[in-house]
Amino acid sequence: MKNTPVVSRAVIVGFAGVTLLSALAAVDQPKPVAPPAAVSAPAAPAKPPVVRDAMGNALRRAPTGHLTNYYEEKVGIYTLPDPLVLQNGQSVRDAATWFNVRRPELIELYAREIFGRVPSTTPKVRFEVVATDPAAMDGTAVRKHVVAHFGEKPDGPTVNLIMYLPAKAKGPVPLVLSISFVGGLPLPPPPAGAPPRVPGRAEPVAEILAHGYGYAVLRYTEIQPDNAAGLSEGVIGLARATGQTTRAPDEWGAISAWSWALSRVQDFIETEPAVDAKRVALVGHSRLGKTVLWAGAQDTRFALIYSSQSGEMGSALARRDFGETVDDMAANFPYQFAGNFQKYAGHWNDMPVDAHLLIALSAPRPVLITTGSGDMWSDPRGSFLSVVAAGPVYRLLGKSDLGTVEMPPLDTPVATGTLGYLENKGPHIISDLDWKTFLDFADRHL
């Protein structure tokens, strides 16, 4: 497959034969910002202390020997796959070729090499409304508790979907669907000896409702556990053959399982008369930001995608040597990906895809990407560059791109087009400004 070099000074991204020289980016790139201290469990006595660079950024050495880099002048030179060149080298010059040839090629590459294929043995899903409160939130909302039952067994896995719908809506409303770390029900107590949970910012349900949207949230670990042992549990466990103990190289990982479940929730949403199922916005943060990008790429029923700080193998370019890398992901989260993903540790440039292609797979639908200056691990600049590099696909399909190749100042959204980007001054969270930017973005498109 032909690769198109991509260039920039501060952001050098091009689409027609320029080379990205990241050393030049140091001219106007702010010095790395030390992330705020995270809430974490005390380190076990046997573990060495965390090593940090001069700016306070944590340094990690992957099993490949790679050491974390946080400096633009050390990113190196890389070449991105051209989104508008087929694997046989032919150019994509019209929408029909994109939708009928190039897009299916990229979906296949991501399914086979990165996230894993959804098997034909996925469990059946049955939805049940178990409770309704017509006067929730001081009478401003109708709250529904919906339980998704996976598989045929009465004691099979269940997922709790909590929905809030404007009480005085005069017709079907658009919906914000959030896949979350905490969900809409209280978390069970942590196991004995487990590290304390990092507190997260509550999602602004009242503000979402005030914009005229419904809101629905589910907890991702109810779909599939977020650990390697969980590959025999959750929906992946239900889909496995009896006695199966190993995975095929292209078998689905946890991100594909979480994404698949979001499509099943969309199936239910299409039966809910109070919701306009053609105006559903997906929201996810961190690894769940990766999840919503992959869900939006596969399922075109989702009208808008908002991915917050999804970093490596999400919105940030994997070929950039900055912050978390493919090596780190392959070592620390192998269960989230297909087995084939492992072969790209230490060989990033051999991957047939990169983040700009994952974003482009949602075209022509709107996509918003947000990052945080206190989260250098997830490479904010790499996410900006990938949004810019997805632009040619949006322009081919008659939509606006980001509208700039210059990275905006902190706390300055660039979100008036079909693609949007913001780097806030915060840590690894969805900030108040992120939510405001998302709601303004959604208002323009939904």
3-state class (DSSP) for residue 32: coil
Over 265-305, what HEC string results? HHHHHCCCCCEEEEEEEEEEECHHHHHHHHHHHHCCCCCEE
Distance, CA of 426 to CA of 435 (rounded, Å): 13
CA dihedral defined by 241, 243, 245, 251, rounded to 10 degrees? Answer: -10
Catalytic position from the list 66, 285, 356, 428: 428
Residue 378 one-letter amino acid: S
Annotation says 286 is catalytic? yes
The C-alpha atoms of residue 27 and residue 17 are separated, in whole angstroms, by 22
The rounded Cα 117 to chain-centroid distance in angstroms is 17
Q: Which residues on adjacent β-strands are paired with residue 421?
A: 369, 414
Spot the catalytic one: 8, 178, 256, 286.
Answer: 286
Q: How far apart are CA 404 and CA 379, in angstroms?
A: 19
What is the distance between the terminal CA atoms of the chain, rounded to a whole angstrom?
36
Q: DSSP letter for 165, please.
A: E
What is the C-alpha separation between 95 and 76, in angstroms, rounded?
34
Q: Name the nearest CA neighbour of 201 among 185, 179, 225, 182.
A: 182
Task: For strands 275-285 and 304-308, give the pairing.
Answer: parallel
Q: Virtual CA dihedral for 341, 125, 272, 258, nearest 10 degrees?
A: -20
Contact 338, 400 (CB under 8 A): no
Q: Are 174 and 276 in contact (CB under 8 A)?
A: yes
Question: In terms of C-beta density within 10 A (0-12 exposed, 13-18 middle, 19 or more buried), how is residue 325 classed?
Answer: buried
Active site residues: 286, 428
